[in-house]
Amino acid sequence: MTDARLPSHIKRMQIEADGDSRRWFPETADNLPFMVLAMCGEAGELANIVKKVARGDMSLRDAKTRMAACMEVTDVFTYLLDIAELLNFDLEKAYYVKRAENQRRFGTGAGGGTAGQNGSVLPGTSSNAGGKA
Ligand SMILES: [Mg+2]
């Protein structure tokens, strides 16, 4: 059982990624539009690999291609951590809030899974569910 008042593991990763950005790229670390565009750029790099796999030029059975795809997903995730920290919310807690909302909307399906946790997403608020997924 986790204490909902404590920062999640993902929130700690957000803080770490934000610190890295401030050390390595201080001129853009606070720039939300830059971070969002950079994340989209990384998603584009992933899309380019997937495009080449889809047309048969590359294969995810090839370890090098698979690793390249995994690293692009990681680049997207790193910028996502930065963005969540810039927006000052706990991405992991927000994920579970959104997941619960989606389960209400779309059902749990045959697999069910865990119910997740509801709680404060933004600091200083009691509950905050975001918009559409
Ligand atoms: Mg990349």
Ligand 1 centroid to 69 CA: how many Å?
Answer: 9
Ligand 1 center from residue 80 Cα (angstroms): 13
Alpha carbon of 26 to ligand 1 centroid (Å): 19
Span from the CA of 130 to the centroid of ligand 1 (angstroms): 28
Task: Say yes or no: 76 and 122 in one domain.
Answer: no
52 and 117 together in one domain: no
Residue 4 falls inside a structural domain: no
**Ligand 1 geometric centre to CA of 84 (Å):** 19
Tell me which residue range forms the domain holding 119: 90-133
Q: What is the tens place of the pLDDT at every residue in 11-61? A: 999 999 999 999 999 999 999 999 999 999 999 999 999 999 999 999 999
Pair 83, 35: CB distance under 8 Å:
yes
What is the CA(42)–ligand 1 centre distance, in A?
A: 5
On whether both 49 and 17 belong to a single domain, the answer is yes
CA dihedral of residues 37, 42, 46, 49 (deg, nearest 10) = 110
Global pTM?
Answer: 0.81
Distance from Cα 94 to the centre of ligand 1, integer Å: 25
Q: Which residue has the higher pLDDT, 122 or 87?
A: 87
Which residue, 78, 99, 100, 59, is CA-closest to 20?
78
**Predicted pLDDT at 109:** 77
- Give me the pLDDT at residue 89, please: 97
What pLDDT is recorded for position 2? 62
8 Å CB contact between 31 and 85: no
Indicate the pLDDT class of residue 4, thresholds 50, 70 and 90.
confident
pLDDT for the residue 73: 98
Question: Is 6 a residue whose pLDDT tops 80?
Answer: yes
CATH of the domain at 33: 1.10.287
Select from 19, 40, 39, 21 the least CA-distant residue to 29.
21
- Pair (65, 76) in one structural domain: yes
In total, how many domains does the chain have? 2
How much is the pLDDT for 51? 98
- Cα 6 to ligand 1 centre (Å): 32
